[in-house]
Amino acid sequence: MNFELTEEHRMIQQMARDFAENELKPGVIERDEKQYFPKELLQRMGELGFLGMMVDPQYGGGGMDTVSYVLAMEEIAKWDASAAVIMSVNNSLVCWGLEKFGSEEQKQKYLTKLSTGEMIGAFCLSEPEAGSDATQQKTTAIDEGDHYLLNGTKNWITNADIASIYMVMAQTDVELKHKGINCLIVEREAEGFQLGPKEDKMGIRGSDTHSLSFIDVKVPKENRLGEDGFGFKFAMKVLNGGRIGIAAQALGIAAGAFERALEYSKIRKAFGTEIMNHQAIQFKLADMATEIEASRQLVLKAAFEKDAGLDFSTTSAMAKLYASKTAMKCASESIQIHGGNGYVREYHVERMLRDAKITEIYEGTSEIQRIVISRNLIRA
């Protein structure tokens, strides 16, 4: 068993670290306050290959493994969790799903642009009445022969305003229940597509989140992903991989909060010495470092299993469950170590706590992860 990263892994890790510290960090507080992510940074992420890391080079991607992807995700999330979730959705849910299950025509038309950042994609599963129970899709796609007629509403859609295409789950045959769900690729310019107001969120405020409405949107049959009725299976398969990305995001938030706390403990003095010399602070740092390392090993193991073609559903659920919990704890403890300074934006850690919470909710809540893990254990 080899725990050493390859030279290529270390180069990718360092490139992501440099980008995060030199280009993401400087404006991250302002982006959080004003709730935006500038096009120039999005373009820069595309130029550096962060938006299609695992896509085959024949479709414009980096051809990298999942380990490389999570290493980059961690470094970016250390400073900007909003940038990390933009990256995660485009890589894990959109590009990977399209490359794995899309037709060659779909790959040539969309994947070649998604992998370079020329296009950004969004994944549309959640609805007002279909969150954790994703089988309860109310959005419908009526088969009209050469096209589907799409009607319905999606909410909590990441990348909604910056996206060019949307992977939309919709019910084609109600009697078949979840086996009657299809995934349709919908272009932003489609007539009848409407973007709802931006959500005013607690965290990841640099990432835009909106509801979407589809009113008699005509979607060509060639834009259906996979065979008829494959939509629900498609969603579950890509979410398994997506959880690795969100686990890496949570790991990055935890590691970033820890690094800020460690730095601060070396310069802040109390009772005549730096606070790093007080056992109360030392024990906090020790616990944070231990839980971060445990999270990192789970994330890397899930990435390794995915790259090896193994069943990674249990490990990815474990990684997301544990890393998101670690992110919450480390961000909170980092604020405690910073004292009053931790409560203000200037020191970054209050934002990290706000950003951490969503990692316990999206792409499967912590409760859903426990269901996935326990079911897999019982079936084994």
**Residues involved in catalysis:** 363
Amino acid at 194: Q
Going 54 to 55 to 58 to 60, the CA torsion angle's sign is: negative
Q: What is the DSSP letter of 342?
A: G
- Does residue 146 sit in helix, strand or coil? coil
DSSP calls for 194-239:
EEEEEP--SS-TTS-EEEEEEEEEEEEGGGEESSTT-HHHHHHHHH
Q: Which helix (H) or strand (E) holds 124?
A: strand 121-124
Q: Look at strands 181-187 and 165-171 and give their pairing.
A: antiparallel
214 forms bridges with which residues in the sheet? Answer: 152, 193
> Do 202 and 209 meet the contact criterion of CB atoms below 8 Å apart?
no
Amino acid at 145: G
> How distant, in Å, are the alpha carbons of 2, 16, 151 from that of 24?
32, 10, 38
Going 288 to 289 to 295 to 296, the CA torsion angle's sign is: positive
